[in-house]
Chain A
């Protein structure tokens, strides 16, 4: 049988993630794509805990824990060290959405503008989960978190970090989702082929924070993509390419499964649907603009 996903496991069993954690699956796949010659730089996030307490680490690659706001810049330093030592080791900055969209955006923007040779993967669970579900700028419109209580739910839209990275004109930017591991792995391998800063944002649902049955992580992840809420696409040297074209689920179906949206009324949901449709349309236009519509 031909495996579509590399067989080697670089993440051990004894990790400390919650049941149904999307972020731990994301790491497992990422390391399968990157292989052993990789160093991970991890800022404060759930993964600071998931990796295991001293003296344990569930990852079979070196891990450098760093301060919350410094994933990209610390990775830039490790990358410079690899360069001067003449090593080809991949430097992976692995951060949550808070560490990427919010407190770490300055460091990431700096690295991207300089073109520092790192792969930056943001596992996006759409809130600060490590500290117990506070909003981040990746939290979608309408969501409940502990700092956006249902009565005053998140009223700003999710920051479009992917487009911010595209605007840096880095060689490769992509979105991914843990329910599509082949696609995710292909994108990481592609990223590895480029010199410079590469950014991949992978949707990694969090049953604890999103309030759904941990058994449904994959189902829900799929639905995020199928509804067009989290479209899979890549931007290679400015050229857009949508990885999965079909859009056949609704916002309603997607949010129905999650407690974090349970307070929303029909009107708000309709509004959300309109926005998703508009964004999807915009993405298709971008792809068309570059004339790369063939699948």
Chain B
């Protein structure tokens, strides 16, 4: 049988809202935890005189399983639905990992936002929603969890309150509700995860597993123009200049001319290798090295982006961005010049103007031209790089339009480019 289509699924949400428990529940109920592990825990619990099967054992079993060590290739939990196979990314909670989410990891195809119904939207819920949007994750499942723990349990009223609160937040950052599925679950008890819940007769919608099957596979960005951020440049005797990097969009082919920006150098791709083997073309996600004629090692550098000569990467004079301040000790005002980490580039950029402050509750503009913004604020700003830099509109190239802002050894903010003024 042909392998099912693959999706990267990122789990996000506030601390303790039940991300791990929901992953564990899905693994168990889709048959992705080995039976002998479950049996072992069942036996142990029975020996201790606890009769019935406890879901908590499953979580212990999963912890123990990972202690035995995972290889580099099997870093992720995976499970299948009818339609897809999923690999799970559980997003780190601390904001100091945001830089790596933005510049490092591969593109997530969909996100599961876990919101505990007794608490509702919390600080990290907001950060993670903003992050998902910045990462270009278009589809979202909102699992309103711990429905067994509302007062009274399985309260429809509470579900609707939390749903509305979450929906408002999602609209603020620009989610279209057509691409969002909200549903009530109890990850711990197993309500509405794989089977419809008997405790929520008022809910007529789909289960978590059905929501996963309803996701659509995002199109591979191979139809877009080539964008390949350069990680490093080598020289190899007899081969010449060899840039190394990951194709983000488009296709890299031998015997084509490409342009490196902002270095503004044109070269001809001769051969492309991946895993030391020659390939006839490199697609999005491929980590490759290739030799180029007409470009010397010192002509180009890390932070350059390769693209077609007739549609080269955009070098900006300035750009407009939507950002969220994650962690700044005081306030950000016009004139602030931190370092922007965008694809493989790190460039000091000046915040020229703070144009709007946004209200995370309603999505409305809270203030035009505010004097300052601080931790927790979302804003639209105008930015001017202190030296030439490639950045694209996130709408066109999500991988090249998102960035983390770093200052004094910390990730201060994250955001995405919404408009560019070309150089």
A and B are partners in one complex rather than unrelated chains: no
A residues neighboring B (CB under 8 Å): none
B residues neighboring A (CB under 8 Å): none
